[in-house]
Amino acid sequence: RDLPPLPLPRISSKKRVTIVRHGQSTWNKIGRIQGSSDESVLTEKGQSQAAMTGDYLESETYDHVFQSPLARARQTADIILGHSKSPPSERTILPSLREIDLYGFQGLMKEEGKARYGDLYVTWKSRPTEFELDGHKPVIELWHRASIALETILMSDYDDILVVAHNAVNQAMISVATGLPPTFFRKIPQSNAAVTVLEFQPHSPDIPGDYPGNPGGRPLVVVESLNESPSTLSSPGGALDDERPRVVLLPSQASPEQISKVLLGANPGESPGLRVSEILAAPSVIDEARDLAVSLPSSPQVSMLSVGDERKAWESAVTSASRSSGDVVVMGDSPTLSRIFVEAMGSGLPPSEQH
């Protein structure tokens, strides 16, 4: 429906939502436009990607699983739960978790779409929020539908939840949760079988009402991890073998295990991990940052991060990364990093530069 997203519902307990995209599908592989069609299944590579994510999440304990009704998502959920040490006994198929509805585009090879629709296809690629097809605005509809899915998930009786769905709808859910409008479509890409974790905390009067993602007393949303893919974190030629420096936002509340996975790789000793050259730390966590720097093999320098001006903080991080030969870690409490995250998403940097 061509309606704005629903506001996040009020919640009475903390909710942790792990969002996973399906593994590579047959139509992903050949470049055929899928949308919400249900004619593609996982490739052998897609099954392997799902298995790696299953290994990565095997120790997690989920109260419930919500999954898309489409086969590629169902197969991914089956594989992930097959690796779980304590899989939940029930799953819910949620129609609102299907992929973006692309109507007449669905089933076309991308080159066919360009040839058949011309300027309309250009609009879809360059100005997706303005794109209309068969009397529908797919991206606007998607944001509304994603808000319905989130409402269903957050209003459920479950506190630790696994969601298995698709690239675009997962992007939309993350955006709705963090208060980002449909213009952020394609700015938060979700790789095949990648994991994003959001924590929703009940509103507290101690949290300012104009906090990003939390106006009017809605839940506080913490981005615990974003587009984290075991296959790219630990495999040769993956993201961490890329020579480009990256900026990593690391919440000070992260557990030692989470910090190890992020900085040293999914399999320390086997994967390269981050090449940390500098840690920018908020004043409140400068001592923790110095302790962390001592523990890293690269012995990064530690600098104070300017807080209170998220744009300046993000620009500082990007500048540090661009002039260094390694990666830059930005360390602070979750509210500070969430505000920097929102600034980063609106900075205009290509998604490939935003890790």
48 phi and psi angles, rounded to 5 deg: -65, -40
Output the 3-class SS for 205-272.
Answer: CCCCCCCCCCHHHCCEEEEEEEEECHHHHHCCCCHHHCCCCCEEEEECCCCHHHHHHHHHCCCECCEC
Q: How far is CA 210 from CA 37, 137, 339, in A?
A: 39, 29, 11
Q: What H or E segment, with its residue span, contains residue 161?
A: strand 160-165
248, amino acid identity: V
Q: Please give the structure tokens belonging to residue 103.
A: 């109507």
223 phi and psi angles, rounded to 5 deg: -85, 105
Sheet holding 15-21, edge to edge: 91-93, 64-67, 160-165, 15-21, 195-201, 220-228
Q: What whole-number distance in Å separates Cα of residue 220 and Cα of residue 66?
A: 22
Catalytic center residues: 22, 99
Q: What whole-number distance in Å separates Cα of residue 4 and Cα of residue 145?
A: 9
Buried b (16+ CB within 10 A) or exposed e, 160-198: ebbbbbbbbbbbbbbbbbbbbebebbebbebbbbbbbbb
